[in-house]
Structure 1
C-alpha cells in the first residue's frame, strides 16, 4: 500500500464520522490502513482477528466493515457468513490476496458486497467505501419513503410494479426476481446489476456506464470486478438447454437478451 500523503478528506459529510470496522491480521497493513482511514475522516475500530471482529461488529454496529479474507482462526469469509446469517446487512468490503475468480466468487457468495485485491492502492479502498456508503444511504432513504405505505399482497399485479424481459420478472419494491417460475436468490449488488440490465434489455451497456450506475465509480479497464459479478449472476440465471441471458459484447460491455 503506498505511503504517499493522504489527500484531503472526500468522505461525504455527516452529522458524525462514519465508523469502519477493520479486521486485518497483518499489523503493518492494519496500522497503515487505520491511519489512512482516520485521516480520511472515518472513525476506525481496528482488530487483528475474525473472532474479535464478530464481537465488535455485534456491539458497535459499524457503518461498514473491511475484512481481510485470510486470518487465523475465524477468517473473513466466516465473519461475513455469520453476520449475514444473523440478518446483519452492514456493507462489507473484503481484502484478499487471492486472485483466482473462484476465490473472489467465494467472498461474494459469503455475502460480501465488494472486494479489493492486495496489494491495493488506498485510494481504491476509499472509492469503494464511498460507493458502498452511498448505496446504503440511498436504500435507507427509499425505505423511509415507502416504509409507511401499505404493503401489497405478494401476488398483486399493481400496474408498473414488475419489470419483465427475456423471461425474467423483477419486483424492485420487494427486491425479488424470478426466471420463469424459479425465484432467484440474489445479493444486493447482484439484484441491482440485474435490474439495470432488465431495465435496459436489448441495449448494450458499456463497462463505464455499469460501474457508474452500480458502484458509483469506474475502476478502470484493468478491474475484473464487473466480470466476476456477471459470472456469478450467470450461474444463478442460466439453465440447461436455455439461452444465456447476459451476453458479452467484447470490447464494449454487456447486454440482456434472449436469442
Structure 2
C-alpha cells in the first residue's frame, strides 16, 4: 500500500486549519497544520511535505514572503496559495512568485481537495489531458527540457522549475507551431475541470519565458498571438501572421 500524500496547511485562522485538517484527513491525506510562514520555513529544515496549502495574508512571516524564500532558494515544493475573494492582485503576485495554483476564499473543502489532487497529478504524471512522451527530451535554444526526469537545464546546470511551470512548458513543446488560447493552455496544463482565471495564464507564461528565453522581454520561443493566446516556436523564428 502506498503512503498517503503529506499535506501541510499554513493559515493563521485556527478554525480554517481544523476544518482542512479534518476534511483532508478524511480524504486520505496525512495533514499537518502551522499558523504562519515562520513555522513552515523552520519545519522544512527537518521534514518535507508533498504539497503546501499556504494562506497569503498572515501576521509575521506571511505566505508571500515564505513562498518567495522557497523559490529564491531554488525549492520547487508544490504550493497552492489561498487568497481573499476578488483580490486579483494577490493572485497575480503569488503566481509571479511561483505558486503552482491558487484558490480564493471562501471555498468548499472539496474544491480545495480537487485542486490539491490536480497539482499532485501534474507533479507525478504530467499535464492532465496531455500525456508525457516517455523518454522525451526537447532543446529550446540552449535549454533542455527532459520529460522523463522532469528537469530543465542549461549547459548542464539545473534550472529550478515548479510543477505548474513544468506542466505549462510541456503543453507548449507537445504542440509546436500551434496557436493555443489561454483557455486551452489551462486545460492542457491543469486539467479540463480547473476553474482558473484565464488571465492568470499570462503570469505563468511570463515566468516560463524567464526560464527559457535569452531575453524574456523579446520572446523568441513562446510568442504572443495577439487577441488569442500563445504559440511555441521551436526554432525561435519570428512567426508571421
| Alignment partner of 1:255 is 2:231 | yes
TM value normalised by structure 2? 0.72
CA distance, structure 1, for counterparts of residue 174 and residue 54 of structure 2:
33
Q: Which runs of 5 or more residues in structure 1 are unaligned?
A: 1-13, 140-144, 147-159, 179-183
CA distance, structure 2, for counterparts of residue 230 and residue 223 of structure 1:
11
Would the aligned equivalents of 1:18 and 1:42 in 2 still touch at CA under 8 Å?
A: yes
Computing the radius of gyration from Cα coordinates, the structure with the larger value is: 1
Residue from 138, 147, 152 that aligns with 1:175: 152
Count of matched residue pairs: 218
Change (3 A) 1:161 1:19: closer
CA distance, structure 2, for counterparts of residue 32 and residue 241 of structure 1:
44
Would the aligned equivalents of 1:22 and 1:65 in 2 still touch at CA under 8 Å?
A: yes
Q: Please identify, of 240-249 and 69-78, the stretch whose mean Cα deviation from structure 2 is larger.
A: 240-249
Change (3 A) 1:192 1:42: closer
1:76 deviates by 0.9
CA distance, structure 2, for counterparts of residue 107 and residue 203 of structure 1:
29
Q: 1:37-79 CA deviation, whole Å, 9 max, x = no partner?
A: 1111111111212212222333331111111011100111222
Aligned pairs for 1:61-140 (under 5 A) are: 61-97=48-84, 99-138=86-125
TM value normalised by structure 1? 0.67
1:129 deviates by 0.8
Change (3 A) 1:114 1:220: closer
RMSD: 3.5
CA distance, structure 2, for counterparts of residue 57 and residue 212 of structure 1:
32
Change (3 A) 1:248 1:232: farther
